[in-house]
Amino acid sequence: MSEKSVKITDENFQELVLESEKLVIVDFWAEWCGPCKALAPILDKICDEFGDKVLVGKVNVDEVKQAPVNYGIRSIPTLLFFHNGEIVRQEVGLQSEQALIDSVNQVIS
């Protein structure tokens, strides 16, 4: 996990994701997942590009049990985009940097 992203747990999900006023991208991932590892530097670039407008949170599905069940996560990586506590977009699988930038721009504009 990068220092640019925030570790999301069942205990802090409400505060960091659902109560946030900014766009929160929640990355459901696992240490053993190759596409998840390939997505990590792209999410770091999203953090760099959008700064204070976007929070990237990481949910390790091997450690966090309730959040993946609550949101029906069936495959990883899955990205859920939350704005004002609501899911506004979902991306499943490895996404290109440009595709993610486009997704963020669509949500925050």
CB 85 within 8 A of CB 31: no
Q: Is 36 a catalytic residue?
A: yes
How many C-beta neighbours within 10 Å does residue 96 have? 10
Dig out the tokens for 104 from the structure.
């963020």
Q: Is 33 a catalytic residue?
A: yes
CB 61 within 8 A of CB 30: yes
Residues facing residue 54 across a β-bridge: 23
Q: Active-site residue among 24, 33, 56, 59?
A: 33
Q: Active-site residue among 17, 24, 36, 46?
A: 36
Task: Indicate which residues carry an active-site annotation.
Answer: 33, 36
